[in-house]
Chain A
C-alpha cells in the first residue's frame, strides 16, 4: 500500500540555520503531497501542499517541490526561527482511496536561539 517515510528526528538547529527535512513516498497512483505542522498540545495545521509533479508548495518561508522521478517532497526553509520549533509531518492523499491522508512518522524540530 501507499506509504510515506521521513527522516528521523529530533533535528536541532540554531536560529537562522538552513532546514531540510527529507520525505519520500510510495504510491500506486498519482497522489497529492502535503506537509503538516503540529505545535505542542495542538492539532495539525496544513503548512503547504502540491498536487502534481514539479509543483512547488510554499508558505511562511517553507517550501517543497513534488519530485515524481525521485518520489520525494523534501521540506526546506532558508532561515529557521525559534517559533518554527514543532513536529513536521509529510503526508500523501489519493482520491482513488477516498482522499485520506497517509502520514509519515513525523520529524521533531527544535530551534535554539
Chain B
C-alpha cells in the first residue's frame, strides 16, 4: 500500500495558463475525491468519482475546472485559464465504499498563480 500520491507537489503558473494535477489513489479504492484548501481554512469538497463515474460536483467547481477518471484508476484535475483566486492546495483522497470507511488523503498539490 503506497498511499495516495499526487503530482506535481508544487506548481507555479502565470495567470491565464492551464494546469493539470494527477492523483493516483490506493489501488483497491473505488471512490476518489478532490478537495481544495486555502490557508487557514478546512478542505472544501470539489468533486468525487465512484469508479470512472463522476457522481457529484460542487458549486465551487466552475466551468474552468474539469476532472476525469477515465479507467477508474488515476484521476486528473485540470484548471483552465487560471486566476489568482485559484491559488490553493488541491487535495486528492480515496476510499472504499461503505459507512464510516476511512478516506485517505494525499499530500496535496500546491498551486500558486502569479
Inter-chain contact B42/A89, CB cutoff 8 Å:
yes
A86 contacts B by Cβ under 8 Å: no
Inter-chain contact A102/B45, CB cutoff 8 Å:
yes
Which of chain A's residues have a CB closer than 8 A to the CB of B103? 46, 93, 99, 101
How far is B40's CA from A106's CA once the two chains are assembled, in angstroms? Answer: 8
- Main SS class of interface, A: strand
Which of chain B's residues have a CB closer than 8 A to the CB of A44? 43, 91, 93, 105
Chain B interface size band reads: 20 to 34
Inter-chain contact B45/A43, CB cutoff 8 Å:
no
Inter-chain contact A100/B101, CB cutoff 8 Å:
no
Which of chain B's residues have a CB closer than 8 A to the CB of A105? 40-42
Contact with A along B24-46 (1 / 0, CB 8 A): 00000001010100001111110
The list of the 7 closest CB pairs from A to B, nearest first, reads A51-B100, A103-B42, A32-B100, A43-B107, A43-B105, A44-B105, A105-B42
